[in-house]
Structure 1
Amino acid sequence: MRVLITGANGMVGQALERSLTAEGHQVNCLVRRPRLQRVAPPPQSQDYAWDPDRGTIDPDALEGLDGVIHLAGANIAQGRWTSRRKQQLRSSRVEATTFLVKALRNASTRPDFFLTASAIGIYGDQSDREIVETHPAADDFLGTLGQDWEKASAVMEQDGVRVVALRLGMVLSSHGGALATMLPAFRWGLGAILGSGSQYVSWVSLEDVVGCVRFLLEQPRLRGPINVTAPDPVTFKTFAHTLGGVLHRPVWMRIPSLGVRFLFGEMGQAVLLSSCRVLPQRLLDHGFVFHHASLPAALNACVNEREQRS
């Protein structure tokens, strides 16, 4: 199988590249910048350049594809959401997807599937309600951004391509993402509960994200939105104390909601304080088995992996 991956420099993209090439699949990686620090890339993987901002893409990357895994997108939780930052978030998702879809539709062949990253932020702040894929999108910045992102990908359906939107929760890994950012403070006993701590965190291990994608590649009838989260969402207070317990460190600090909003503005409210209790209903209905279904197991695996590398 020949698969195109965008966002191949990212944590999820790299993990999928390793998984697919390990089984002998050919992976075409679309990258904005050369990956100079790559160590002995597998022969089944090749980098191709693209720059959606400038409207350029190597056409050789698009030929003979069985499928596309589209993960490119600027970090939603990096810095305050100024007007300029919001435009960057939108451009890297909606406009980049529109450009990629147009290029794929102009290629000589069409892929069988198009899996696109999305996010559970599309649902907005839902307090303690359990949310499944049929829940409507929120009428706020993240909700609108998520809808437009998924709509840009859905255009591929006009050519008979199976389109799946991966609504990702907080991806746990010691390699990067939110957990890697949090670990140093928690290791020093300086981990903090944000706001009241009652907001729900819908998380998923990196290993299960890869497993989910591999599962979806083998499920030709599954299309549309898929919640990629573990079946055990927890409050932030529980998350913080569980992480502290895994590290054998107390969690005694609290940053009030006002402080989070002061430091991070709208992003802090939408990403750090909002509550979204998401369930992976469609994955469970179709028999997907999570490797890390509970938070303690997932965090222990991440911490142990980090310690083995250091």
Structure 2
Amino acid sequence: MQCFFFVNFILLKVLITGASGFIGRHLIKALLEQACDVVAVSRDLTSVRKRFPEAVTIIDWENASLRAALETTDVVINLAGESIASRPWNKKQKTAIINSRLLAAQRLHQAMGTLKKKPALLIQASAIGYYGIRPSQECSELCKPGEGFLAEVCNKWEKQVPGFAEELERVVTIRIGLVLGEDGGVIPQLLKQSKRRLGGKIGSGKQWISWIHIYDLVYAIIYLMNDDKASGIYNMVAPEPMQQKDFSKVIAESSGSKLQVPAPGFMIRWMLGEFGRELLLSGQKASAGKLIRQGFLFKFITARQAINDILNPYHK
């Protein structure tokens, strides 16, 4: 399937937090192609200015700057938050992961509270980690939060949403799966491991990976932004999740790597503790049904399609 829709956003102004991240970079590029007026919010203005074209307005989190930008903003997309997987989960890092998300949402809500004309739409990021450790259950958006640190983070994150829903015309929460792309997300790291023959089965290998290609994620966000009937929570995952043992085989085959060495579960738990148990040995089987019923057409249905597309540059 292909995503055959065209969106005209000439009059829309979109404010994005977390703009310098992997998803934010791709989303901004797509919005500029749709003729959107884009405002990027960041703590590090110097590095962000180097990354984005002059067409993007860049501001910091200072209240006056944020309020001024929000006064003429139509859509807010909140992607802000400390990376989940960049560092081990010690107490300090866990606090940073949670607080970075809560503070961003609270600052946005505080800034919007003083406006006479508020944005019409908030798209709030979350993740399928909300469902916690569920070995085989398929999770729709109606599933309750699970257990574990990731579930705690996402649950606290999403509890910020009702405050916006009371004031804005429309609020959409996107629970994002494992994002696949050439220049970010998990693929570059998996490719390095595969080339070292360390990209084999992890633990039992039966843990589910609910993935989505960065292309489909970006255009699913734009699709929901453009559909006035879209509201509530959406799993941002491809229609066909895959177990880790099969996913690792596809990575190895697509990258031309040789036989891969498996990683025993006890070793992951011993070396990485809770971090490894939740991110590597566990997974979620999330359903894309609601997004499909909304009318979105995926370009990448299978993980093999997505991975072959992403790794194609490495076959030159």
Q: How many residues align?
A: 305
- TM (norm. structure 1) is 0.93
Q: Does 1:281 align with 2:292?
A: no
From 114, 117, 127, the counterpart of 2:122: 114
1:30-79, Cα deviation, whole Å (9 max, x unpaired): 0110243756844431110116xxx7854332221101010011111222
Indicate the residue corresponding to 1:45 in structure 2.
56
- Residue matched to 1:8: 19
Which structure 2 residues correspond to residues 50-199 of structure 1 after superposition, within 5 A? Answer: 50=61, 58-199=66-207
The one-letter code matched in structure 2 to 1:235 is: Q
Alpha-carbon separation, structure 2, partners of 1:124 and 1:84 = 21
In structure 2, runs of 5+ residues without a counterpart are 1-11
1:20 matched residue in structure 2: 31
Provide the rounded CA distance (Å) in 2 between the counterparts of 1:60 and 1:238: 49
Aligned partner of 1:247 in structure 2 is 255
Identity across the alignment (%): 30
Deviation at 1:139, TM superposition (A): 3.5
Give 1:258-297 correspondences, 5 Å limit.
Answer: 258-297=266-305
Between the aligned partners of 1:56 and 1:122, the Cα distance in structure 2 is 33
Q: CA deviation at 1:288?
A: 0.9
Counterpart of 2:203, as a letter, is G
Deviation at 1:243, TM superposition (A): 0.7
Distance 1:90 1:218, change over 3 A: same
Distance 1:40 1:103, change over 3 A: closer
Quick one: which amino acid aligns to residue 221 of structure 1?
K
- Superposed, 1:207-218 pairs within 5 Å as 207-218=215-226
1 CA distance for matches of 2:185 and 2:20? 13
Q: What secondary structure is seen at the aligned counterpart in 1 of 2:68?
A: helix
CA distance in 2: counterparts of 1:220 and 1:187, whole angstroms: 46
Q: 1:67 to 1:20 in 2, by over 3 A?
A: same
Q: Is the 8 A contact 2:194 2:257 kept in 1?
A: yes
CA contact (8 A) 2:78 2:124 kept: yes
1:50 alignment partner, SS class: coil
In 1, the alpha carbon distance for the partners of 2:200 and 2:133 equals 21
Q: Shift in Å at residue 96 of structure 1?
A: 2.1
Cα separation, 2, equivalents of 1:32 and 1:210? 23
The 3 A distance-change label for structure 1 pair 263 and 57 is: farther
In 2, the alpha carbon distance for the partners of 1:42 and 1:106 equals 31
Q: State the alpha-carbon separation in 1 of the partners of residues 64 and 276 from structure 2.
A: 34
CA distances 1:68-116 after superposition (whole Å, capped 9, x unpaired)? 0100111112222111111101111122211221112223421111001
Q: For 2:130, give the aligned amino acid.
A: I
Task: Kindly indicate whether residue 47 of structure 2 is the aligned counterpart of residue 36 of structure 1.
Answer: yes
3-state SS of the aligned residue for 1:115? strand
TM-score after normalising by structure 2: 0.91
Instruction: Give deviations 1:100-134, integer Å, cap 9, x for gaps.
Output: 21112223421111001100000011111211111
The answer to whether the 8 Å contact 1:30/1:61 transfers is: no
1:26 corresponds to which letter in structure 2?
D
Q: Which runs of 5+ in 1 are unaligned?
A: none
String of CA shifts for 1:238-260, please: whole Å, max 9, x gaps.
00001111112234311111111
Change (3 A) 1:151 1:26: same
Question: Structure 1's 298 and 15: CA in aligned 2 closer, same or farther, altered over 3 A?
Answer: same
Matched residues in 1 for 2:65 and 2:57: separation? 14
